[in-house]
């Protein structure tokens, strides 16, 4: 069965395809999808807005993720504005500069992910996941995307230093998608 993935981010698309494939879902993208205005105040609201618009435009079940980085020392920033926090190419450096000089115990952060699926008949499935960690003091690693090179998990490695399988096992998106997969499976069995 085909589900449209409402993203232009190849990293997110690859993760969603990897996790949804075992359910028999052919996760596709469609050129020309309108970017939804992310006016929500939560990740779940923004994920729903993206999925609902993609569903409306394609007539297919649509899945969207909204995720971001919430840093305690910055009052939860960048939060729902993670992708728009600073100009492209300066986001990680902006965060590192704002936290410069803070010890690790004050660099606590979490990645949050909300996944929403909207069906043409109006049904909706939403799941959320969180991964706790720290903001490092420099970029490390070659994998991942976005803020992955500065987000450290408990063992001190960054998301960008983990294999895709290691990241999927603990990441906010991995947690959300496993819960989403369970909810989706229950929906498909109705």
Beta carbons within 8 Å of 159's beta carbon, 6+ residues apart: 111, 141, 143, 144, 147, 148, 149, 151, 153, 167, 171
DSSP calls for 69-86: EEEGGGTT-BGGGGGGSS
Positions marked active-site: 66
Per the prediction, the chain carries an average pLDDT of 93
First-residue to last-residue Cα distance in the chain: 16
Q: Per-residue pLDDT tens for 173-186?
A: 889 988 998 998 88
Global pTM exceeds 0.75: yes
Determine how many CB atoms are found less than 10 A away from the CB of residue 28: 13
Task: Give the domain 2-188 fold.
Answer: Maf protein (3.90.950)
Q: Per-residue pLDDT tens for 124-174?
A: 999 999 999 999 999 999 988 889 999 999 899 999 999 988 998 999 988
């Amino acid at each position: 069965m085909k589900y449209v993935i409402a993203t232009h981010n190849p990293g997110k698309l690859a993760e969603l395809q990897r996790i949804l494939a075992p359910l028999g879902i052919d996760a596709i993208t469609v050129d020309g999808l309108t970017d939804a205005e992310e006016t929500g105040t939560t990740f779940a609201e923004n994920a729903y807005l993206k999925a609902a618009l993609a569903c409306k435009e394609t007539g297919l079940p649509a899945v969207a993720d909204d995720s971001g980085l919430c840093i305690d020392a910055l009052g939860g920033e960048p939060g729902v504005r993670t992708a728009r926090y600073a100009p492209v190419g300066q986001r990680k450096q902006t965060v590192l500069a704002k936290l410069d000089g803070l010890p690790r115990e004050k660099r606590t952060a979490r990645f949050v992910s909300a996944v929403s699926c909207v069906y043409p008949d109006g049904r909706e499935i939403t799941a959320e996941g969180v991964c706790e960690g720290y903001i490092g003091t420099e970029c490390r690693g070659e994998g991942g995307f976005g803020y992955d090179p500065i987000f450290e998990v408990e063992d001190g490695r960054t998301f960008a230093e983990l294999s895709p399988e290691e990241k999927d096992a603990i990441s906010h998106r991995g947690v959300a998608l496993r819960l989403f997969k369970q909810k989706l499976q229950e929906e498909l069995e109705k």
